[in-house]
Structure 1
Amino acid sequence: MTQYKLVAIDLDDTLLREDLTISERNRQTIRQVIQKGVIVTIATGRMYASAKRFAVQLELDVPLITYQGALIKTALTGEVLYEKLLHPGVVKSVIQLAFDRGIHVQAYSNDALYTQEENEEVRAYTELVGVNYQVADLMEIAEQGTPKVLYSGDPDFLDEFAHEVKAVVGNRANVFKSKPHFLEVTHPEATKGQALDYLVQRLGITREEVIALGDSYNDLDMIEYAGLGVVMENAPEAIRQLADYVTGHHEKDGVAEALNRFVLSV
């Protein structure tokens, strides 16, 4: 079997349980994988500040893939290795769409989360990811450099709204759903797969030596890029069909199951 050298793990609904914690079995298995000489990193749509909390718990001293691949930043030293920011004009246009349609929108700059107004949506989001937020003029934030814009709302509405956003941004941005009620906009080169390719080249390894674990549509290019694409049992059927291997549910240590099978048992 292939001797894997890099493992990239999504957070929400993959490594994290519903209560947003890492199980002891997953934690111990990841430590064993690292002790074997394999690099383990996080690949998440979350902002760096949110991802770093879990990296610290896992004692990871590696570059972390955050903002869906828009930012790769080391866990301990905070060195920025890779960054892809949306053009300010794109940011302003997608923010204006939200204003016109009356839905919640938030933007990020310098690893801080900004909202135009305080509301239940931003409070729920920041409680979910464990970060703070600031109220500011989002059009001004757009000028500062933005790795991601996020809309939240009714899942069916967002499915339709995504077509409007794509019509406005064209090939100047990626538009995708990270969860049923979250629609996100990032730089066209800000994907987990492209970020993973950057790390592969930096480490001098091959994509065949990479395992990627995820559960959602925003994980697809990473799963397809890796030599071994692992999808959680709780993932949508369409994503499970594209996996090289379907592991257990995120509530039942699916990450540990996959790592034991493909890394520790080799």
Structure 2
Amino acid sequence: MTLTKDYKVLSCDLDDTLLREDMTISKYDSRILRELQKLGVNVVLSSGRRAYDIENRFKQIGLEKDGAFIIGSCGCEIVKVDKMEPICTKVLSNDTINVVVDYAQKNNLNLGRNLFHYSIFISQFKEFYYSTTHLVYTCQNPYNLEHLRITNIQPLKVDYEAIRKMCLESPPTKLFITEDPIAVSSKILPEISKVLPLSSRALITKAYFCEVIPTDGGKGPALQWLCRNYIHCEMDEVVSIGDSANDVDMLEMSGLSFAPSNSFDVAKKAAKEVLNWSNMESAVGRMVNRVFFNGTFLMTDEEKADSKIE
């Protein structure tokens, strides 16, 4: 099998793009991504999730770790996969932390962050290991339960001052509010955007999920930094695919970009092309087949059944 296009990077979102509704990855998507990596294309998994979680998906697909990279936390962390070594991290300022906690507390909103423990072992080389302890939250609601389901992390309920103290002592890459989708889009996003410092911005990454990240974060800038400093290519040599607001800058900055049919309108508008296939129909693999293999990487009968394609 040979490549028909000379792109050097594929940057792929996870939730609602590569991941299906049951949090699995299709057999076809996994096989074609392994083949693409073998042929020398850098397969970069880019997600709003933290790097340790993305690494689990890396393993699930069966991708090689040497020379591979992960973009996590909506572009606020870039990690070398072989040793899970952070090479670029951006965190929220103290001003942003205080503003977000105050806003959530005033409006009795569920505010959350991931609480991590980092253990570092130093031998001839420095090795970094990520492990998570809890998903910290302030209020219980159906949307928080859904977030816990898709992340599969142990919950830890705390009050607003406790989460403020945690964040000021160990600044997070992002904070998130999980609430009713109508409230998130019509009230929370516009209100919090007005009071945030210039060093941060808010975006909706799922209908019920409003995230606050550093202004200079984002998958697009992270991917550009990675290409210039480690992969040594330009953004016009990058193919990307994503479905949500946190994919917009990546989709706009890539040489070629796609949005699955199930994408938010903002992603469809940002992408160079909207696909006819959803995340439930192996949109990633079918796009890769068309762009990189000129349609020659065919599905097996088993893969068709797995992707529910007749």
TM range (shorter): over 0.9
Partner amino acid, structure 1, of 2:148:
T
- Tell me how far 1:121 sits from its aligned partner: 4.3
Structure 2 gaps of 5+ residues are 117-131, 296-310
Question: Which residue is 1:225 aligned to?
Answer: 253
Rounded to whole Å, the distance in 1 between the matches of 2:142 and 2:256 is: 39
Q: State the percentage of identical aligned residues.
A: 24
What CA distance in whole angstroms lies between the structure 2 residues aligned with 1:83 and 1:162? Answer: 24
In the alignment, structure 1 residue 204 sits paired with structure 2 residue 236 = no
* Match in the other structure for 2:9: 6
Residue 119 of structure 1 and its aligned partner are, at CA, apart by 5.7
Among 229, 244, 248, the alignment partner of 2:272 is 244
Does structure 2 conserve the Cα–Cα contact (< 8 Å) formed by 1:88 and 1:146? Answer: no
2:153 to 126, 131, 138: 131
Match of 2:171? Answer: 145
1:20-61 per-residue CA deviation (whole Å, 9 max, x = no partner) reads: 100001001101111111010111001222212101112331
- 1:108 alignment counterpart: 114
Q: After alignment, is 245-254 or 222-231 more displaced?
A: 245-254
CA distance change for structure 1 residues 198 and 128 in 2, over 3 Å: closer, same or farther?
same
The correspondence for 2:36, drawn from 13, 33, 37, is 33
Alpha-carbon contact 2:111-2:139 (below 8 Å) kept:
no
Pick which of 125-134 and 237-246 moved more: 237-246
The 3-state SS of whatever aligns with 1:151 is strand
* CA distance in 2 between partners of 1:225 and 1:176 (Å): 18
What whole-Å deviation, never above 9, does each CA across 1:208-250 have from its counterpart, x for those lacking one?
Answer: 1101100112111000111101111111345324322222211
**Separation (CA, whole Å) in 1 of partners of 2:41 and 2:219:** 19
Corresponding position of 2:78: 72
One of 294, 298, 302 as aligned partner of 1:265: 294
Structural RMSD (CA): 1.8
TM-score normalized by the length of structure 1: 0.93
Greater helix share, structure number: 1
Aligned length: 266
8 Å Cα contact 1:7/1:211 also seen in 2:
yes
Q: Structure 1 pair 12/88, CA: closer, same or farther in 2 (3 Å)?
A: same
Residue in 2 aligned with 1:158?
184
**Could you say which structure has the larger radius of gyration?**
2
TM-score normalised by the chain length of structure 2: 0.81
Shift of 1:131: 2.2
The residue aligned with 1:49 is 52
The correspondence for 1:172, drawn from 199, 220, 226, is 199
Moved over 4 A (4+): 117-121
What is the CA deviation profile of residues 148-179 of structure 1, one whole-angstrom value per residue up to 9, with x for unaligned ones?
10001111211211122112114221200001
Q: Is the 8 A contact 1:107 1:141 kept in 2?
A: no
Structure 1: any 5+ residue segments left out of the alignment?
none
Q: Are 1:33 and 1:264, in contact at CA under 8 Å, matched by a contact in 2?
A: no
Which secondary structure state, in structure 2, belongs to the residue aligned with residue 257 of structure 1?
Answer: helix
In structure 2, do the counterparts of structure 1 residues 131 and 167 end up closer, same or farther at CA, with 3 Å as the change threshold? Answer: same
